[in-house]
Structure 1
Amino acid sequence: MTLEIRPLTDADVDSVVSLWQECGLTRPWNDPLADIRRARAVWPDLLLIAKDRDALVGSVMAGYDGHRGWLYYLAAAPSRRGEGIGRRLVEEAESRLLALGCPKVMLMVRAGNDAVLEFYDGLDYTRESTLLTGKRLIPDA
């Protein structure tokens, strides 16, 4: 496998959204195109893709607010799972966050998604006992 990890470009957007849909990461209340646009406006080098030759095989969106880093939309093509693509994307996102001085990275996992929790357990992430609350400021749908 010749895996290239790099920031997303305009030419990658449709393929990334398709990957997110294939992996079940999109939700009707979040417009993935708006998520991409917003992320690239703030940290364009933290929305990463993984390509094997010409095939898009993974993505991750990272963010940093000056206090914590966050990971979103980690995806590996279902036909390519188990090859280390997700691990490589997380490692690259962590490396970029660390270079920005980010002291800790967090992520959200939907309740009941045990396979994802186990994946992050294997990357030395610690399950936190924090509860999240949210408020939508700009409706996407």
Structure 2
Amino acid sequence: MRKFESNDRDALIQLWETVFPDDPPHNEPAAVLRAKLEVDDLVFVAESNGKIVGACMAGYDGHRGWLYAVAVYKEHRRNGTGAELVKHAMAALKELGCIKVNLQIRVTNTQVAAFYESLGFSVEERLSMGAFL
């Protein structure tokens, strides 16, 4: 587990395109990564045999932390890679003073909900809203 480096760009974009093939256009990986790196460098990758197999983008607004675009190639799941990646990102947020981390998942993605529950996350009754600018 380590921070993203500029030479990871193409591999990270390929990972996100593979793991999130049905994401809407506003989540286009190259644009998301470019925008994120203009703000901060809270992007983490997991490597296996010198290749990126997972990634997680984190955010911190000084009050709450967030996890975004947590992705692990299918063939590298269920071996601890995702858990270690999330824990690594959460530790980085904690170092910044973050005391609570949030994330959003699609309501139909029950398998990933169980994964996050195993890491200590719980469902909070909220209505998630958004607006495009």
**What does 1:76-91 correspond to in 2, within 5 Å?**
76-91=72-87
Mind listing any 5+ residue stretches in structure 2 that lack a counterpart?
Answer: none
Unpaired runs of at least 5, structure 1: none
Alignment of 1:1-141 (within 5 A): 5-24=1-20, 26-44=23-41, 46-137=42-133
RMSD value over aligned CA atoms? 1.2
Q: Cα deviations across residues 69-118 of structure 1 (Å, max 9, x unaligned)?
A: 00011111111111101100111111000000011000000121001100
Give structure 1 regions of 4+ aligned residues with deviation exceeding 3 angstroms. Answer: none
Identity rate of aligned residues, in percent?
Answer: 39
Q: TM-score with structure 1 length normalisation?
A: 0.88
The Cα of 1:135 is off from its aligned counterpart by 1.0
Q: How many residues align?
A: 132
Deviates most, 86-95 or 6-15: 6-15
The answer to whether the Cα contact below 8 Å between 2:17 and 2:29 also exists between their aligned partners in 1 is no
